[in-house]
Amino acid sequence: MKTREEALSYGLSFPDTYQEAPFNDRNWQLIRVKKSRKAFLWTYEKDGFINLNLKVDPQWRDLWRKTYTAVLPAYHQNKEHWNTVVLDGSIPDDVIKRMIAESYDLVTDSPTKRIYEAVKKIPKGKVATYADVAELAGDRKMARAVGNALHKNPDPSTIPCHRVVNSKGELAGEYAFGGAWKQGQILQSEGVEIVENRVNLEKYRFRKNT
Instruction: Transcribe 11-54 into DSSP letters.
Output: HHTSTTEEEE-TTS-TT-EEEEETTT--EEEEEEEETTEEEEEE
* Among 47-51, 137-141, 163-167, 172-176, the least confident range: 172-176
Beta carbons of 148 and 130 less than 8 angstroms apart? no
**Averaged over 55-77, what is the pLDDT?**
90
Torsion angle, alpha carbons of 82, 84, 87, 89, to 10 = -90
Euclidean distance between CA atoms 173 and 87, whole angstroms:
27
Euclidean distance between CA atoms 130 and 101, whole angstroms:
16
* Among 35-44, 136-145, 174-183, the least confident range: 174-183
The region, left, alpha or beta by phi > 0 then psi within -120 to 50, assigned to residue 83 is: beta
Euclidean distance between CA atoms 169 and 202, whole angstroms:
9
- Give residue 141's pLDDT: 81
The region, left, alpha or beta by phi > 0 then psi within -120 to 50, assigned to residue 30 is: beta
How would DSSP label each residue in 55-95?
E--HHHHHHHHHH-TTEEEPTTS-TTTEEEEE-SS-S-HHH
Euclidean distance between CA atoms 173 and 202, whole angstroms:
21
- The pLDDT tens digits of the residues spanning 113-123 come to 788 889 999 99
Number of alpha carbons in the 13 Å side-chain half-sphere of residue 175? 21
Q: What is the pLDDT of the chain when averaged over all its residues?
A: 89
Beta carbons of 72 and 65 less than 8 angstroms apart? yes
CA-based nearest residue to 159, from 172, 146, 144 = 146
Catalytic residue among 39, 100, 159, 161: 161
The reply to whether 161 belongs to the active site is yes
**Averaged over 121-131, what is the pLDDT?**
95
